[in-house]
Amino acid sequence: MLGAVLVVLALLVATVVGIQAARRPILFRMAVRTALRRPRQTATVVAGLMIGTAIISAALVAGQSSSSAIRGAVYDALGPVDETVRMDGLYFFDQELQDGLLDDPAVAAYFDAAAPNILWQVATDNPRTDLFEPGVQLVGFDPDLDVGFGDFETERGPLDGRDLGAGQAIATQGLADKLDLRVGDTVRLAYTLPVDPLLPELTVFGGTLAGSDPGSIGLPLPPAEQNPATDVHALTVEPGATRAVFVLACGIPEQVDCPAGTRLRLTATDPAGVATSIELDAGACTDCGTPSVFLNVTPDGPRLPEGAWTLTVQGAVAANVPYLLVAAPLHPVYDLEAFQARVQELAELDRDALDRFASGFGAPEEETVRIAAVTTGGRGDQFDFDEALFVPLADAQAMLERPDQVNLIKFSNPGGVQDGAEGTDDAVALLNATLESLRAARPGDPAAPHVLVNPVKQEFLELADDAGELMTGLLIFAGSLSILTGLLLIINIFTMLAEERRAELGMARAVGLSRRDLVGLFLFEGSLYAVAAALVGALLGMALAFLMVVGVNQVIATQGSGFPPIPFAPGPDALPVAFSAGALLTFATIFFASRRQSRLNIVRAIRQIEEPDKQGRPWLLWVGAPLALVGALLSVGAWIAGQFSLIVFAPLLMALGLRMALATRLRRRVLDPALAGLLAVYYVATIFLIGTFDNVREANVVGPIRGVLLTLAVVVVLSHWEAGPRWMGRVLQRARGLRAVALPSVAYPQHKRFRTGMTLAMFSLVILSIGFFSIFGSLFQVDPARHTGGFDVEATATLRVESLDAYDRGLVDDSLVRSQHELLDHSTFDLDFITVDGERTGQFGPPMHHVYGIDRAFLESQEFRLLWTLDDLGDQETYERLFTEPGTIIVSYPYSTNEQGQDLAHEVGETLRMHFGDETREYTIIGIQEQFHFRGVWLPSEEVDGLFPQADRLYLWDLQPGADAGAVAKDLERTHRDVGLDAEPSQELVAEEQETFNQILTAMKLFLGLGLVVGVLSLGIVTSRAVLERRQEIGMLRAMGFTRRQVRRVFFLEVTFIVVLGALIGIATSIIVTYGLWFAFIRELQYPYAVPWSEIGWLLAVAYAVALVATAAPILRAARVAPAEALRYVE
Amino acid sequence: MDEAIVQARRVTKVYETGRLRLEALKGIDLDVRRGEMVAVVGPSGCGKTTLLNCLSGLDDVTSGAVTLEGKDLATLADLERTKLRSRRMGFVFQSFNLLPVLTALENVELPLLVAGVDPRVAKRRSQEALERVGLGGHVGHKPRELSGGQQQRVTIARSLVNEPAIVWADEPTGNLDTETGQEILDLLHELNRKQGQTYVIVTHDDAIAASCHRIVHMESGRIRDIQEGQGQPVELAAFRR
Ligand SMILES: Nc1ncnc2c1ncn2[C@@H]1O[C@H](COP(=O)(O)OP(=O)(O)O)[C@@H](O)[C@H]1O
Ligand SMILES: [Mg+2]
């Protein structure tokens, strides 16, 4: 979109310039001739101009390549699958729905292939090798329908899976490696049965167990019909229930004790007359309190018979005792809103008794399969599961006790893996329409409305493009200083060109060209350069992106992370967009530079007399004075209001106003450095006050801009400082080798103030940007312990079990464990599920959200520090608040960033929302954690349990000091292998994440290094111009007795002078800026401030070395100047 | 016969640019004696500047030999010739050829610093040299801030500050009005008398030429004839050390 605008704009400008050229062909021809007259110089100019374009182009192409890499991964992962139909949470639904969908003639006609699947997590174990793998994807597939999705590739050739027998499975190569599998091995699977999000439909009956004949106590209950204490209740079971739970509690609701020896029997009879009953003999218990009977009724088919049920309560008690009978047919509720409402209802009652049924924990099941083949690719890669087992659908259904149910249907659009995605819109419309009619035909099926179409491939491809754009944006942001540097270079070059041609231009003015013509002349020439430079720059940027891709691939390859190499994939729009952006930037800069140059005095120009200090025109006073006043008022206001942007910009406005207003009274060479100096001092002062401002988000953007302004101000001051360089020269003179060369080499840069200032600015800005990243990066070298909250091992289990301890083989040395914690952990890949202040948050890793549920015991052990707390409470108080104040939430660090990963984008006190379809829940952020290892939001367990009754568990262990976390993690996996525990040493994980962060940082710094190239290139250009300009003077020096070496030294020292000064300014400002930021934000994190001197030393050494290389050619040329020739040379 | 400080024998200089071949000097024989002021005159383009460059070693000759204080320039490497210039020669050119970025004083200091003189000494001697040419009050000015005549005086001060044996001047008054030109020439004469330096001066100005001891007339690369001028050579013995 932006790209199109740029291209159109560029075309527009080209048209305007073209029309102008046609109107003044002579000017145009003059411009062309000037450009062609000195091809070498033109080449240098173009080289200087192209840098900005190259950066834009490189960023664009690098972004496109990374998006294409992700696209490639998407194609690899999904293969021919374009859409899936499933429920959130992969709940099971009836196969009838699937059949209805697949048998629909329109659907059948449209899709290349469609097939149901069952996906379920299992833990595996190879008894032959005694190896185990906790997290394995079990894939049930329909042998006939799945054929449409290609063959399993195996080492023995392709397999279509149709002849896979019952009890047989195909393993992926990844799993085979983990378990050391051979064909023929028997693999043991452990898993829990799938559950539906069940909620009871409660009916409560009350009554009194009549005291019966005391003589009958202690005897078997008399037949119901003879027992006077028999109550019969009628219950209507609504359609859709999958099972029912009945609880009969004695002594409730009056809370009286049931007499010892009470006997109870509960019988449930369905409409068909089938009865289920259970008895309780409380005879043995003397202090029973409330004896209860639980009756669990499961149907033969998928649903409980609906209609009129009868519940019969029989009791034999010694006295009249009240009882309560709760009937709870369990209905799957896939609708969160409804779920919430019911949870509220339940909360009114004593929930404990029902919890066990609703929470969905089951005992682990076991099964074995025989490995029939190992697949290396093809259909085996379809879901991108490294470790998976493929079994016939019927087997999976039997194992999971879900006859006639599946949890996924996949579809392949017409066309191949890549072009298939183009049909997504049609496919989605078709599937939705068909689903709609199926839902209408199945009113009683609670699942049907929630079985939805997911355009998976399209969604992932969009994510890929977003990621690519993000990358481009990031690189352009990182390169923005380099681009700015490039623009300064353009101005510098054009000023030099104009200086060189002053006489020529003066003549042109003298013979009657107007000022506008001069601008035109420059613009024509400039647009020629801009076009050439943009073209070369765009291509160079591509080459650069190519090198980056190659570099990244090298890193990927050496890391062996298994990522496929990133393809070099410039999009078709890369060249035109980069070209247009570059040409426009260059053109605009040239436009301003040439306006400046056209204001020359004819006589002075011809006679080569320097333009005097410009005297301000009187009217400037009338513009400047009000500006200065407004600036001053705004500054004062800004300080009163603590408005950060204005605190930075208003004084700048004031200074600019003063500069205009005082231009008539004071000379610029006094005025400029004075104002710049005051600004610089002011900025340094504000840096240490930044912490007192609330709006950190603003500071985040304005802070770096202030760094740039500070740098520029310092450069203005230094480039006006007359005495400094002289003094330097006198000092350097004391060195024997520099005796003759010291004076000229400092005098020249001082003399060419504008040029030197520009070069200094470029150099120092580049050093500033690299130094900034370098120092900042080193500040964020985190201590892993601070990101793991003091915990050492973290684990998840494939099997959802109520208590880990029940599945402990006793292989861990308990003396090593200080404490163990179980957290609820609901995760989702839906990035829009959580928003802060209405926007998506940063991710710092895989794109997903976690909602962690913690209990008070956890609070005792955890050491997750909070960076910011609401109302400035202490950490412990804030965590405590989580439990006492509903609607509060604590978040990990990434939730304080925005989607672009910008720090400090969000603060405590802002609102965090969770989006459940139509409903949202709001929380106030009361604390932001320092850690970004457990990237999620933190709530009390009860709250998470209420929201996500089927949340997974996250287990954390705190070990004794000195324990080897890696070894304990291994032992934990072994001891809990029955539940498929997957344990990792936390600090090692953090260290790996840090490593990734460092690599990104390095990549950033390398990209910033491009700016260094600009700075250095500009030095090369400036030097080469200086050599040209000073030929005659060089000849004079040579005549006077300067040796070639001394001539070289003059230039060499000059370059050194600029590099060292620029580097000093850049380093100093980057230290000031980073120290300021540290002072304001990081100090509280208790990270020490340190400057990575050795890294900066290297940086400077490299910068200097490259500068020498870049200036070597002109310097050598200077030394070779033949004196006799040069003295004769009149330019 | 006084000893010749510079001897040129059958010196030719050919410029070859592309296919163009230009014989700028066509066999020059010339002796310049110590303490002498020699004027070189002739129409524009006849080879005066070329001759000066060849004699001073700024440029190579195509054939023939130039000896300077007994040393054959052709046998000297660039570095040795540079050293020779630094110690024994001074230059004054038509376009004043000062470094615009340095002050008058700093410009005059340069030859001394090149010759390895201690900076403090160099500063003092330059100061004196400027005083000698009448610019004692302008040491801190940059060339841009001086008039043409003043600039040429600075050049002269610079050419003399290291007490060279011979000063080459290529149209030293070319850019000056007659009056100022005459002033400059008077200055040169005065210095010649006081310090005994040898001068080779290229000039268009007949009056200036006439005031020298000898006048070399050139015409298209050759010496047409050599005249005695009105000036009297200084008594060299007075300067022998
Ligand atoms: N570098 C050069 N290349 C080619 N021709 C040259 C060069 N320098 C001088 N000439 C030519 O040599 C001739 C002598 O030049 P020059 O010594 O400068 O004359 P003068 O100083 O008497 O005016 C002239 O015709 C001039 O054009
Ligand atoms: Mg000449």
The residue among A79 and A140 whose pLDDT is bigger is A140
pLDDT the model gives residue B163? 86
pLDDT tens digits along A1059-1112: 888 999 999 988 888 887 777 766 666 677 888 888 888 888 888 898 898 899
Tens-place pLDDT, residues A418-460 = 888 888 999 999 999 999 999 898 877 778 888 889 998 888 8
- Residue-range domains of chain A with CATH: 1-78+456-612 (no CATH), 83-195+364-454 (no CATH), 198-358 (2.60.120.510), 696-784+989-1131 (no CATH), 799-979 (no CATH)
Categorize the per-residue pLDDT at B96 as very low, low, confident or very high, splitting at 50, 70 and 90. Answer: low
Closest ligand 1 atom to the C-alpha of B52?
17
Q: pLDDT for A882-935, tens place per residue?
A: 999 999 999 999 998 887 767 777 889 999 999 887 778 899 999 999 888 999
Tokens 């801190």 sit on residue: B140
Mutate to test the pocket of ligand 1, among B46, B171, B218 (most ligand atoms within 8 A of CB): B46
Kindly provide the ipTM of the predicted complex, given to two decimals: 0.89
Please give the mean pLDDT across all residues of chain A. 83
pLDDT of residue A615: 57
Q: Average pLDDT in the B79-92 region?
A: 89
Q: Which of A97-106, A192-201, A416-425, A748-757 has the lowest mean pLDDT?
A: A192-201
Alpha-carbon gap: A750 to the closest alpha carbon of chain B (Å)? 8
Averaged pLDDT for residues A105-113: 91
To test the pocket of ligand 1, the residue of B50, B60, B216, B222 to mutate (highest count of ligand atoms within 8 Å of its CB) is B50
Contact present, A389 and A141 (Cβ < 8 Å):
no
Distance from the Cα of B86 to chain A's closest Cα (Å) equals 4
For residue A1123, pLDDT beyond 90: no
Least confident of A195-199, A338-342, B196-200: A338-342
Q: Ligand 1 atom 26: the closest Cα is on which residue? A: B45
In the reported structure, the alpha carbon of residue A1131 is separated from the centroid of ligand 1 by a whole-number distance in angstroms of 16
pLDDT at residue A608, as a whole number: 56
Cβ–Cβ below 8 Å for B114 and A1046 = yes
User: How far does the CA of residue A736 sit from the closest CA of chain B (Å)?
Assistant: 8
- In this structure, of A22-31, A536-545, A575-584, A907-916, the range with the lowest mean pLDDT score is A22-31
Preferred mutation among A610, A743, A751 to probe B, highest tally of B CBs within 10 A:
A743
Question: What is the mean predicted confidence (pLDDT) over A292-303?
Answer: 78
Alpha-carbon distance values, A866 to A30, A410, A681, A787, A932 (Å): 68, 44, 35, 11, 12
Nearest Cα to A261, choosing from A292, A285, A289? A285
A957 contact B CB<8A: no
Band the pLDDT of A548: cuts 50, 70, 90.
confident
- Dihedral angle of Cα A451, A455, A456, A461, to the nearest 10 degrees: -160
Residues of B with CB under 8 A from a CB of A: 49, 53, 56, 58-59, 78-79, 82-83, 85-87, 89, 91, 93, 95, 97, 99-102, 106, 109-111, 113-116, 119, 144, 158
> How far lies A138's CA from each of A114, A120, A170, A954, in Å?
19, 5, 10, 22
Interval between CA A403 and ligand 2 midpoint (Å): 110
> Would you state the structure tokens that stand for residue A950, as one six-digit string?
């089927």
Tell me the average pLDDT across A508-513.
75
pLDDT of residue A694: 53
Q: Does residue A162 contact residue A151 with C-beta atoms inside 8 Å? A: no
Per-residue confidence (pLDDT) for residue A941, from 0 to 100: 92
**∠ CA(B29), CA(B31), CA(B34), 5° rounding?**
165
Determine, for residues B102 and A1124 on separate chains, whether the beta-carbon distance falls below 8 Å: no
B83 → chain A, closest CA residue: A1041
Using a CB-CB cut-off of 8 Å, the residues of chain A touching B79 are 1043-1044
Residue A280 confidence class, pLDDT cut points 50, 70, 90: confident
Tell me what the mean pLDDT of segment A84-97 comes to.
86
For residue B196, give the H/E element and its range. Answer: none
Q: Quick one: tokens of A700?
A: 């985040």
* pLDDT number for residue A396: 95
Higher-confidence position of A938 and A491? A938
* DSSP per residue, A1002-1051: HHHHHHHHHHHHHHHHHHHHHHHHHHHHTHHHHHHHHHHT--HHHHHHHH
C-alpha dist (Å) from residue A429 to A441, A485, A803 = 19, 51, 45
Give residue A927 CA to ligand 1 midpoint distance, Å: 85
Contacts with A1044 from chain B: Cβ below 8 Å: 78-79, 82
Instruction: Note the pLDDT tens digit of each residue in A190-202.
Output: 988 887 777 777 7
- Cβ–Cβ pairs < 8 A, chains A and B: 86
pLDDT tens sequence across A604-629? 665 555 555 555 567 778 888 899 99
What's residue A647's pLDDT? 87
For chain B, which domains are there? 34-62+74-240 (3.40.50.300)
Q: Is the Cβ pair B99, A1130 closer than 8 Å?
A: no
Residue nearest to atom 2 of ligand 1 (CA): B15
Distance B202 CA to ligand 2 centre (A): 8
Which residue's CA lies nearest to atom 25 of ligand 1? B45
pLDDT at A6 over 80: yes
Q: How confident is the model at residue A356 (pLDDT cuts 50, 70, 90)?
A: very low
Q: Which atom of ligand 1 is nearest to the CA of B22?
A: 5
pLDDT in tens, A214-241: 444 344 444 444 445 678 899 998 887 8
Q: CB-based contacts of A332: which residues, under 8 Å, 6+ apart?
A: A91, A196, A197, A198, A240, A242, A446, A447
Instruction: Note the pLDDT of residue A607.
Output: 56
What's the pLDDT tens digit per position in A524-534? 888 888 888 88
Q: How confident is the model at residue A600 (pLDDT cuts 50, 70, 90)?
A: low
Query: What is the pLDDT confidence band of residue A394, given thresholds at 50, 70 and 90?
Result: very high
How does pLDDT run across B141-152, given as a tens digit for each residue? 988 888 888 888
Q: Identify the band that residue A253 occupies on the pLDDT scale cut at 50, 70 and 90.
A: low
Question: In this predicted model, what pLDDT tens digit does every residue of B41-62 receive, in sequence order?
Answer: 999 889 999 999 999 988 889 9
Sheet with B71-72: list strands edge to edge.
B20-33, B4-17, B63-68, B71-72
| Residue A514: exposure state from Cβ atoms within 10 A (0-12, 13-18, ≥19) | exposed
Contact list in B for residue A750 (CB cut-off 8 A) is 101
pLDDT at A287 over 70: no
Query: For atom 4 of ligand 1, which residue has the closest CA?
Result: B15
pLDDT of residue A899: 79
A807-833 per-position pLDDT tens digit: 888 888 889 999 999 999 998 878 889
Chain A nearest C-alpha distance from B148 (Å): 13
C-beta separation of A36 from A569 below 8 A: no
A1115-1124 average pLDDT score: 88
Measuring from each residue's beta carbon to the nearest atom of ligand 1, which residues come in under 6 Å?
Answer: A 1125, 1128; B 15, 17, 22, 24, 42, 44-50
Residue that the structure tokens 């690519």 belong to: A468
| Residue A363 scores a pLDDT above 70 | no
Nearest to A1038 among B82, B93, B116 (CB): B82
Each residue of A665-710: pLDDT tens digit?
Answer: 788 888 889 999 999 999 988 877 765 555 555 666 777 788 889 9
Average pLDDT of the segment spanning A35-51: 79
Least confident range of A73-82, A588-597, B136-145: A588-597
Q: Which residues of chain B lie closer than 8 angstroms to A1124, CB-CB?
A: 53, 58-59
B173 alpha carbon – ligand 2 mean position (Å): 12
What pLDDT was estimated at residue A622? 83
CB contact under 8 A, B109 and A744: no
Atom index in ligand 1 nearest the CA of residue B221 equals 14
Looking at A171-225, list the stretches that DSSP marks H as alpha helix, in order from N- to C-terminal side.
173-179
Residue B103, φ and ψ in degrees, nearest 5: -75, 170
Q: How confident is the model at residue A482 (pLDDT cuts 50, 70, 90)?
A: confident
Report chain B residues whose CB lies below 8 A from the CB of A1128. 49
**Is A1041 an interface residue toward B (CB < 8 Å)?**
yes
Q: Measure the CA–CA gap between A550 and A343, rounded to whole angstroms.
A: 55
**How confident is the model at residue A1129, as a pLDDT?**
57
Instruction: Kindly state the average pLDDT of the residues A941-947.
Output: 86
Q: From the CA of A411, how far away is ligand 1's center (Å)?
A: 88
Q: Closest-lying ligand to the alpha carbon of B220?
A: 1
Beta carbons of B115 and A750 less than 8 Å apart: no
For residue B94, which ligand has an atom nearest its CA?
2
